[in-house]
């Protein structure tokens, strides 16, 4: 036999013996493949610490914004004392009192409805995204041709 023929036979024998492990056809081969890939995945996930980006919520109001809210509550008579710029227990109590007087669920939390009633809401609070206007300049249909 020539060297070339021996190499072909040897290569074929290697492919046949490795086939169950590569394809996962045998139970033992697939178990080895699974455990190896699981171990590899664990190593990869533990070696690289990926930080997931957190969903950003509403930012806390600034002390100036809290002073505005306290001043509006004071004007209504719900808040007593001078505005401090701190969201403390007396401010929450005043907010609950104001919300209750105005038919809003008294949570003591800042929300769009309460700010709107206090006169501190934004122009876009509670409104959805703008809807594009439909163009009214539609080209008129061509008149029928005279024959």
Which range marks the domain in which residue 82 is found? 63-118
Q: Look at residue 45 and tell me if it is in a domain.
A: no
Q: Look at residue 94 and tell me if it is in a domain.
A: yes
- For residues 113 and 103, what is the distance between their CA atoms, to the nearest angstrom? 10
- The helix-helix angle for 27-47 and 3-23 (nearest 10°) equals 70
Q: Look at residue 142 and tell me if it is in a domain.
A: no
pLDDT tens digits along 106-131: 999 998 899 999 998 876 665 666 66
Q: Look at residue 95 and tell me if it is in a domain.
A: yes
The number of CA neighbours under 13 Å toward the Cβ of 83 is 15
Q: What is the pTM of this model?
A: 0.48
- For residues 99 and 118, what is the distance between their CA atoms, to the nearest angstrom? 10
pLDDT tens digits along 57-97: 667 889 999 999 999 999 999 999 899 999 999 999 999 99
CA 76 to centroid of chain Cα atoms = 37
């Amino acid at each position: 036999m020539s060297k070339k023929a021996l190499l072909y036979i040897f290569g074929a024998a290697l492919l046949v013996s490795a086939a169950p492990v590569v394809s996962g056809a045998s139970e033992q081969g697939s178990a080895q493949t699974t455990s190896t890939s699981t171990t590899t995945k664990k190593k990869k996930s533990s070696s690289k610490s990926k930080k997931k980006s957190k969903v950003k919520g509403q930012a806390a109001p600034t002390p100036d914004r809290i002073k505005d809210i306290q001043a509006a509550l004071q004007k209504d008579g719900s808040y007593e004392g001078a505005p401090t710029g701190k969201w403390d227990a007396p401010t929450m109590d005043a907010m609950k009192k104001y919300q209750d007087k105005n038919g809003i669920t008294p949570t003591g939390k800042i929300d769009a409805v309460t700010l709107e009633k206090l006169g501190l809401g934004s122009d876009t609070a509670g409104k959805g995204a703008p809807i594009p206007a439909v163009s009214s300049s539609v080209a008129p249909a061509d008149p029928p041709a005279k024959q």
